[in-house]
Amino acid sequence: MLQGKNAVITGSTSGIGLGIATQLAKAGVNVVINSFTDREDDYAIADKLAQDHKVKAAYFSADMSDADACVALVEGATEKLGPISILVNNAGIQFVAPVEDFPPEKWDAIMAINLSSAFHTTRTAVPGMKAFGWGRIINISSAHGLTASPFKSAYVAAKHGLVGFTKSVALELAEQNITCNAVCPGYVMTPLVEAQIPDQMKAHNMDRETVIREVMLDRQPTREFATVEQIGDIVAFLCSEAATQITGTPLSVDGGWTAL
Ligand code: NAD
């Protein structure tokens, strides 16, 4: 069913985005991967996906903090591959600080990349999905889209916003054979999480191992990180026939975190 369909995955040269691109490519989906770095390595990742999985794959550099670049990503991908029927809004950044010290420019960047980019790519992709008669929009939110932690005010606000956006878009498109869902991971070991560890060590005055055990995985009852392959497979499931009636849903993949 997914064979030959075309997907755009934002922020996908590493971590969860690359895990999603890989699992979709494995299922036969042509993929456009994205970051804002425009390095040779980025193009090499796309070439490898194409070779490994015998699909079309391309890299498109676009800064997801820039509305015009979000539009250009979807338009460029459509020119390259044809109708984009799978859109995965994954790009995201994190910054950790007490609210009174939170730099306003970091707040703005988190809102732009983690929330507004999904609006700009979605508004650009939806007419093509309607014309194609089938579509899947999957927004990578977070356990922090459903619950909160201290020192992450911008991230928590943006991820809650993304869940609200998901529900609204799902209702608008419910009769168009286009679903819109959010995936809400707990901790997945990726460069984004690795980069948070020093800030968390400072904020909690703890060493690395204690932060991992007592701050990060303390919230995750399974005491295990989710893997990028698991998140990729869940995205592929949301694109499958079995998931046709799942729409407007925040799907937790958090080892029980939000059951607490
Ligand atoms: P990561 O840092 O490994 O990857 C982020 C990707 O986004 C990279 O490819 C990076 O190049 C790209 N990116 C960053 N800023 C960008 C910009 N301005 N324009 C285009 N691309 C940009 O992070 P990750 O952990 O894989 O996170 C991916 C998504 O999953 C994020 O939205 C994050 O909030 C969410 N998430 C992650 C975890 C986790 O534990 N890792 C948990 C819940 C949710």
Using CA atoms, how far residue 194 sits from 61, 185, 189, 225, 241, in Å, is: 24, 15, 7, 12, 35
Measured CA to CA, the distance from residue 41 to residue 123 in angstroms comes to: 30
Structure confidence at residue 45 (pLDDT): 98
pLDDT digits (tens, 9 = 90+) for 209-237: 899 888 889 889 998 899 999 999 999 99
How many whole angstroms from 191 Cα to the centroid of ligand 1? 8
Structure confidence at residue 219 (pLDDT): 87
Q: Which amino acid is at 216?
A: M
Measured CA to CA, the distance from residue 245 to residue 5 in angstroms comes to: 19
Displacement of CA 199 from its chain's centroid (Å): 22
Measured CA to CA, the distance from residue 230 to residue 25 in angstroms comes to: 14
Q: Which fold has domain 6-188+227-259?
A: Rossmann fold (3.40.50)
**Is the C-beta atom of 140 inside 6 A of ligand 1?**
yes
Residue of 9, 13, 16 to mutate, ligand 1, most atoms within 8 A of C-beta: 16
Tell which atom from ligand 1 comes closest to the C-alpha of 69: 19
**Taking the model in full, what pTM does it have?**
0.95
Using CA atoms, how far residue 78 sits from 30, 69, 81, 155, in Å, is: 11, 14, 5, 30
Domain ranges of the chain: 6-188+227-259
**Is the C-beta atom of 14 inside 6 A of ligand 1?**
yes
pLDDT digits (tens, 9 = 90+) for 33-73: 999 999 999 999 999 999 999 999 999 999 999 999 999 99
